[in-house]
Amino acid sequence: MLAEGHAPWFVGWGTLALINAGLAQGKNRSGLWWFLLSLLFGPFATLVLVLLPKVRDRIF
């Protein structure tokens, strides 16, 4: 299967999941959950994550 040229697809999908985990942590969200969501939903998880606001640590 990997010899047939499917390896770049898996590498790209995994890289996107890692990028999403870092983006989620930058927005004070769980990097692990977003990593797992990105493995399942890929670019759709990225779109949702980009549109979500940053979670505030404090009220004031």
pLDDT digits (tens, 9 = 90+) for 6-59: 677 788 899 999 999 999 999 999 999 999 999 999 999 999 999 999 888 777
**What confidence category does residue 4 fall into, taking pLDDT thresholds of 50, 70 and 90?**
low
Tokens of 52: 């979500």
User: Where is 20: in which H helix or E strand?
Assistant: helix 7-26
pLDDT for position 10: 81
Distances in whole angstroms, Cα of residue 58 to Cα of each of 22, 27, 44, 52: 21, 13, 29, 18
User: Please, is 48 exposed, middle or buried when counting C-beta atoms within 10 Å of its C-beta (0-12, 13-18, 19+)?
Assistant: middle
